[in-house]
Amino acid sequence: NAGVMQNPRHLVRRRGQEARLRCSPMKGHSHVYWYRQLPEEGLKFMVYLQKENIIDESGMPKERFSAEFPKEGPSILRIQQVVRGDSAAYFCASRSAGSGRNEQFFGPGTRLTVL
């Protein structure tokens, strides 16, 4: 049973370009969370999605950031017109809808560097 997959693992973009981060949840998991982690800082919640639905995007900036989790395929976190402040590690986590708790399994992260 493969764990949570993220790609790319490292992404370099110039200011103004777009960044697309992908997350494939664990098999059978229908809930995906995205977090941002700045160096030496904690995990900041960005968005929570279920298949085809955004449940909570309260942690995501209103501009330039968007997320989706289509019926088929991975969840995508999209950052348009990147700025240097977007440089961070972006982790996704998934969980099963059927579990009696909220255990989340994290992917290896995508480290975004904006030049």
Partner 1 sequence: GENVEQHPSTLSVQEGDSAVIKCTYSDSASNYFPWYKQELGKRPQLIIDIRSNVGEKKDQRIAVTLNKTAKHFSLHITETQPEDSAVYFCAASKGVNSGGYQKVTFGIGTKLQVIP
Where does this chain bind partner 1 (CB under 8 A)?
31, 33, 35, 41-45, 48, 55-56, 58, 91, 95, 99-109
Least Cβ distance, residue 37 to partner 1 (angstroms): 9
Q: Dihedral (C-alpha) 79, 82, 84, 86: value to the nearest 10 degrees?
A: -10
Of residues 8, 11, 21, the one with CA closest to residue 60: 21
Nearest residue (CB) to partner 1, 79 versus 109: 109
Nearest residue (CB) to partner 1, 18 versus 56: 56
Strand partners, 65: 79
Nearest residue (CB) to partner 1, 33 versus 69: 33
Least Cβ distance, residue 109 to partner 1 (angstroms): 6
Least Cβ distance, residue 108 to partner 1 (angstroms): 5
Among the residues of 1-115, which ranges form H helices?
Answer: none
